[in-house]
Structure formats: structure tokens, C-alpha cells
């Protein structure tokens, strides 16, 4: 069986990078330069970086309120642009990759993996509370496209389930006694999830992190996310020193917001040519 294919995807609103973004980009190219890598740019920005191919999306995704960029990350357009790949590694330019572990993470087969969230317990210890952050995230294209499409168009799916129950359920109910209950349960769950999805895509701001970690499984119960203890080996975000200890004093594949959450911790792990 062929190894899963993966593309590295770098969304950016423009080509003028600040100093920390330049470090992030240079490190990415040195660590994962062997992989197909794409910039995702607004359609009103010409050019590229490092001769990379470009996928262009509607400029409003990168303009105005932060929520618009978040909506790009849960849009069918984004994942539909990469249907020739099994996975995409979303690499925002406030992330760092530290080693090439992409094949192993693709083989793990999760639909979404990112840095775990953390909180403080009453005794002050660090607790992992869920997965995960979207700034550096590996996502299965087929699964994310399916969920993003369902979030955009929830009602046709609900109508299909209702039709199935009406036209098929009665004939087979004696042979499949759980069919109608399954349909009814699915409809209830979808109604709830559809409302949440409309909130994410509509007037209520919901981060893409929350969407992929919580709402995706409500829209599609088969959507698979690793436990936070496993995701810790993929990436750190907050409290990197304590995450390092929790991870058996092992560095993860990468990290998010390295310059914001303890730059001093991450500085020794910058590739020399990336840091200059």
C-alpha cells in the first residue's frame, strides 16, 4: 500500500513577512522542504515566496475581522483545493516544525491533530483538556471536506435522512429493528450540530479550533481525533516547558505561537540558518 500523500499548506494574507514569520518560514522550508508546499493567498495578491505554487482564495477571507480567516479554515473551498492529497499540514506562520515526522503522523490516520489545550488544576498542575489547536494541524482532506461541506449545507443531509426513514424504514424495520431509532437519533444530532455549524459560519464567532475539535464530531461521529496525551507528541502551544516534561522530555513534531509562549524555551531549537 502506498504511503499517504501530504501537502504543506501555508496561509498568509501577504508576502511581506515580519521577522518571526520569516524564521518560521525558513525553518519550515529547511525541515519539510521535500514535501509539496503551497501558499494560500488572497486572490488580489500577486507573486509568491521561494517559488512556491499558490492556491488563491477570495480576498475577504484575509481582510477585516479575524473570524473571516477562521472561516477559511472550515471552508469546503480550502480542502477542495487539495483533493489530490490524503492529508494537509496547515502551517500558520506563527508555528515551527522541529523535525520531519510527517509520514508517521499521516500513517496514524487521524482526521485532525493539533497541539492539546491546557488548563491549571486546583493544585496548580497542568492538565491537558482536549485537541487541538489549528495553527499547526494535520488534517485528512477527505474527512475535512466532508464535514466542511456538511457544515455549509446541513439541511439537505437532514432531508435525506428523513426521506430514508420514510421510504425504507418501514419495509425493513422487522429485519433491522434499530434502523428507525438510528435515523431519529441521527436527525436530532444533526439538527443540533447544524445549528452549531450555522453559528460557526454565521453571526456567532466560533474558532476553527473549536469547530474541528468539537463540532466536527457532532456533524460526523466517525471524525477521529487523538487523545491529548498522544497529540502532545505532535505539537505544544501553551506552557511548553511543562508540556516537555509531560511528554517525557521529548520535543514534539512542532509548536504553535513559539514566540508568544516562551520564546526562550524554543530558541535553542531553531535551525541556525532559519534564525538569521
How confident is the model over 206-218, as pLDDT tens digits?
A: 789 999 999 999 9
Residue 60 within a domain: yes
Question: CATH number of the domain that 129 lies in?
Answer: 3.90.550
- E strand or H helix at 9, and its extent? strand 6-11
**Structural domain of residue 28, as residue ranges?**
6-152+225-275
Is 129 a member of any domain? Answer: yes
In this structure, is residue 54 part of a structural domain? Answer: yes
In this prediction, residue 251 carries a pLDDT of 97
Mean pLDDT of the chain: 85
In whole angstroms, what is the distance from residue 23 CA to residue 274 CA?
Answer: 5
Residue 136 lies in a domain: yes
Which stretches in the chain have pLDDT values below 50?
155-177, 179-180, 183, 200, 202-203
What predicted TM-score, i.e. pTM, was given to this entire model? Answer: 0.83
Q: Quick one: pLDDT at residue 260?
A: 94
Classify 124 in phi/psi space as left (phi over 0), alpha (psi -120 to 50) or beta. Answer: left
**Does the residue 249 lie in any domain?**
yes
Is residue 172 domain-resident? no
Is-contact 151 215, C-beta < 8 A?
yes
Q: How many domains does the chain have?
A: 1
* 112 in a structural domain: yes
- Nearest Cα neighbor of 129 from 239, 205, 217 is 239
Residue 14, in any domain of the structure: yes
Amino acid at each position: 500500500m502506498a504511503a499517504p500523500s501530504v501537502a504543506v499548506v501555508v496561509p498568509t494574507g501577504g508576502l511581506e513577512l515580519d521577522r518571526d514569520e520569516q524564521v518560521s518560514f525558513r525553518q519550515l522550508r529547511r525541515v519539510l522542504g521535500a514535501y509539496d508546499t503551497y501558499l494560500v493567498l488572497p486572490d488580489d495578491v500577486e507573486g509568491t515566496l521561494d517559488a512556491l505554487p499558490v492556491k488563491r482564495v477570495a480576498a475577504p477571507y484575509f481582510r477585516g475581522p479575524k473570524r473571516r480567516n477562521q472561516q477559511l479554515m472550515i471552508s469546503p473551498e480550502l480542502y477542495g483545493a487539495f483533493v489530490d492529497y490524503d492529508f494537509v499540514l496547515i502551517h500558520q506562520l506563527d508555528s515551527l516544525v522541529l523535525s520531519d515526522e510527517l509520514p508517521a503522523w499521516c500513517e496514524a490516520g487521524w482526521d485532525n491533530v493539533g497541539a492539546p489545550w491546557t488548563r491549571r488544576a486546583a493544585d496548580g498542575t497542568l492538565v491537558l483538556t482536549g485537541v487541538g489547536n489549528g495553527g499547526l494541524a494535520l488534517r485528512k482532506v477527505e474527512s475535512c471536506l466532508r464535514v466542511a461541506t456538511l457544515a455549509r449545507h446541513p439541511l439537505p443531509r437532514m432531508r435525506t435522512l428523513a426521506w430514508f426513514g420514510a421510504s425504507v424504514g418501514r419495509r425493513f424495520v422487522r429485519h433491522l429493528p434499530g434502523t428507525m431509532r438510528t435515523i431519529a437519533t441521527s436527525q436530532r444530532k444533526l439538527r443540533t450540530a447544524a445549528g452549531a455549524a450555522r453559528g460557526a459560519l454565521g453571526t456567532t464567532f466560533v474558532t476553527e479550533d473549536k469547530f474541528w475539535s468539537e463540532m466536527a464530531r457532532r456533524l460526523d461521529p466517525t471524525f477521529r481525533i487523538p487523545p491529548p496525551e498522544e497529540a502532545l507528541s505532535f505539537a505544544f502551544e501553551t506552557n511548553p516547558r511543562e508540556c516537555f516534561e509531560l511528554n517525557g522530555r521529548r520535543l514534539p513534531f512542532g509548536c504553535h505561537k513559539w514566540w508568544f509562549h516562551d520564546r526562550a524555551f524554543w530558541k535553542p531549537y531553531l535551525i541556525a540558518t532559519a534564525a538569521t
